[in-house]
Amino acid sequence: MSLDNIGVVRSPKGEIELMEKLGEGTFGVVRKGIIKKTGEIAAVKIVSIENDLEVITKEIEFMKKCNHPNVVRYIDTFFETNELWIVMELCDGGSVADIIKYVKPKFHETQIASICHEVLLGLNFLHQNKIIHRDIKCGNLLLLADGKVKLSDFGVAAQLSDNMLKRNTVIGSPYWMAPEVIQEIGYDYKVDIWSLGITLIELAEGKPPLTEIHPLNAIFQIPIREAPRLTDEKNWTENMRDFLAKCLIKDPAKRPTAEDLLQHPFFKNVKPSTSAISELVYQTLTLKAQKQKNKTQTEVSTPKQIVVVNNPFEDDFEDETSSKSTSETETSEDSDDAYENKTMFNEKEAEEEKERIKKFEKMERKDLKDLKAEIQRKKQEEIDAIILKYSKELRPLKHVLKTKNKKGKSNKRK
């Protein structure tokens, strides 16, 4: 797919005025910007076309199709000096993962229901348009300042068609992956329902299951383990436990659709997220701004440090050379980043682990087929062990049956 396919010919000069950096991802930097014609403040994702152009243009195509209140709104795309500027709706409330990191709340069940309900509304829209998101998790649930939930990051989304009703590519974030994605048995939009179930556990417990093990090991474990459950089930209502159980049905044929789940009793008295979590969003933004202010002051007072512009949205790892006087609060916040960055290591090893994760994300299909073969071999070993066990137990019974048969035949002859 080329730039011509998405109609990118205009320069951003005179159209967009860039402001501070909001964050940095796999493909580039996200900055705040003003659309001069309308005065609207938007998010501008700046990516080099030297990156995987097909992935980038595919994401733009998906965003263009997704006009829904619970999906991040696409605005425009520009081209400037080997860079694409993708202009999107600014979600100035951060992400749901930010709330977990900064506020560390124990979400009330009504808040969890509110978030899941809005995610399902967005997923129902995508699935009706034959789009699979394939990376549902708290980090990809963005928020407006008033608490409105928006699905984001369509970098690994997939399009189904009348001729292709299932996909086979192994892709997504390991801990949230559905079993059928890992097993390469063909999958459809119901993989997003599984990921929503894992996201519910993330909301309830602060992290998804299996984060105590390496992501590659998690990929091996997910297909052969029982479906995850809440650690303290007694703390949650029957409706929430039943909703989770339905999301995490291992057989995708029996797993309900987004449209089915929107009718679940879990959402009987659901409130809009704008009223359910708006206060948490405000607290998160306040804490992020305070942390950035402290970081800036520390860097100003430390020799050979670059002064960082006060930016409440930036969410990077703390610099390893930062002053030892960093508060205990900041230290505990950084330790909570581990699962979101898929590491079980300390801060000094974070960058090294991020590189390992990048390599994992670029694993060739052959490596994943080897992983699938290992899973199948493990299953076969378990089946063989069961057969061996019962064959030993049935051997005496077979001897008795043979003896009876011989006696029966001799009686008939007489």
Residue 106 marked in a binding site? no
Q: Look up residue 45 and give its two tokens.
A: 């994702």
Spatial distance between the Cα atoms of 83 and 111, rounded to a whole number of angstroms: 40
Q: Which amino acid is at 99?
A: I
Number of helices (H) and strands (E), helices first, in the chain?
13, 9
Q: Is 195 helix (H, G, I), strand (E, B) or coil?
A: helix
Contact between residue 80 and residue 13 where contact means Cβ atoms under 8 Å apart: yes
Burial classification of residue 399, based on how many CB atoms lie within 10 Å of its CB (0-12 exposed, 13-18 middle, 19 or more buried): exposed
Max Cα-Cα span within the chain = 109
DSSP string across 196-258: HHHHHHHHHHSS-TTTTS-HHHHHHHHHHSPPP--TTGGGS-HHHHHHHHHHT-SSTTTSPPH
Name the catalytic one among 92, 98, 135, 315: 135
- Angle at which helices 190-205 and 238-247 pack, to 10 degrees? 140
Secondary structure string (H, E, C) spanning 318-386: CCCCCCCCCCHHHHHHHHCCCCCCCCCCCHHHHHHHHHHHHHHHCCCHHHHHHHHHHHHHHHHHHHHHH
Spatial distance between the Cα atoms of 269 and 286, rounded to a whole number of angstroms: 30
Spatial distance between the Cα atoms of 154 and 122, rounded to a whole number of angstroms: 13
Q: Is 315 a catalytic residue?
A: no
Closest CA to 315 of 327, 299, 330, 298: 330
Q: What is the total residue count of the chain?
A: 414
**CB 228: neighbour CB atoms within 10 A?**
17
Q: For the CA atoms of the chain, what is the radius of gyration?
A: 26
Contact between residue 87 and residue 38 where contact means Cβ atoms under 8 Å apart: no
Closest CA to 150 of 103, 115, 109: 115
- Angle at which helices 190-205 and 109-128 pack, to 10 degrees? 160
Binding residues are: 45
Residues noted as catalytic = 135
Which residues are annotated as part of the binding site for ATP?
45
